[in-house]
Structure 1
Amino acid sequence: MTVTVVPHLNFRGDARAALEFYRSAFGGELVITTYRDMGAVEDPAEADQVVWGQVTGPNGFAVMAYDVPASRPWSRGDDPFFVSVRGTDAVELTAAWERLADGGSIRQPLGPAPWAPLYGMLTDRFGVTWVLDIAAQP
């Protein structure tokens, strides 16, 4: 059996913009299904919001997201999770870092760390905290 873990991010009206942003940072294919597409519209104002969305890249990057409808409770919270992107190519990782940082805030600048040759943490403009690193050899 093969297992793949994909972060599934929950938003309130920002899922499409977030997925487009992550595609611009990592590349890949974007697929979006709206509440209208599914015939599951509870509130006409939310018809074009994302009920299911995903970005998948040829490099293995994958993230899913949806817009929690207003009829359900939702809160961004304080650091409820980090999305970790671990790569092997410093140039590729740095490029993704620079794109994710656009409009975000750096929590730990990208650079060498005692535990990794390259490590950084930032919170993007959608409030999602990303950890990017290259794993050290054991």
Structure 2
Amino acid sequence: MGAQLMPYLMSEDARAQADFYVRALGGEIQSVMTFGQMPGAPEEMADKVMHLAMTVAGGSALFFSDGGPVGYTRSISLSLSYGGEAEAREAFANLSDGGDVKHPFAPQPWGAYYGEVQDKFGVVWQIVKQL
């Protein structure tokens, strides 16, 4: 039995970030649990997301939570590999909306199309389409 990697993003606004990824990459929010659903949660955390599960880009899983401990590192880079160039270009363009293109999506000497963008939530996405 092997392990499965499940990216878990600490967010400042998990609902808005998940909604953006649904529009940008296609997908669906599977479930949302708030801190208020847990006994003894502080009132100021009641509407904050404790756990949000979603699928994007054909079924890849992503999890989210609002916040994290003070000083918690929020740096992450996610890579999506596509079979079609048009689909990869669309994802790159969608994720670039409000973000910062670090490397334009273009053919690379190593035999793939590649682009890198930091989305408006600070997540770096590497979009790949093998040649």
TM-score bracket for this pair, using the shorter chain length: 0.7 to 0.9
CA contact (8 A) 2:80 2:128 kept: yes
CA deviation after TM superposition for structure 1 residue 27, in Å: 1.4
CA contact (8 A) 2:21 2:27 kept: no
- Equivalent residue pairs, number: 130
2:9 matched to which residue of 1? Answer: 9
1:56 matched to which residue of 2? Answer: 55
If the length of structure 2 is used for normalisation, what is the TM-score?
0.85
- Partner of residue 112 from structure 1, selected from 92, 97, 107: 107
Spell out the pairing of 1:19-38 with structure 2 (5 A cutoff). 19-30=18-29, 31-38=31-38
The one-letter code of the counterpart of 1:85 is L
Which secondary structure does the structure 2 equivalent of 1:32 belong to?
Answer: strand
- Taking only aligned residues, the RMSD between alpha carbons, in angstroms, comes to 2.0
Give the number of the structure whose residues are more often strand, by fraction.
Answer: 2
1:100 matched to which residue of 2? Answer: 95
CA contact (8 A) 1:104 1:125 kept: yes
1:74 matched to which residue of 2? Answer: 71
Deviations 1:42-72 (A, max 9, x none): 2x22211111112214713221111125xx3
Deviations 1:59-93 (A, max 9, x none): 13221111125xx323456xx32111112121112
The one-letter code of the counterpart of 1:38 is M
- Residue identity over aligned pairs, in percent, reads 31
The one-letter code of the counterpart of 2:66 is D
Mark the runs of 5 or more structure 2 residues left unpaired by the alignment: none
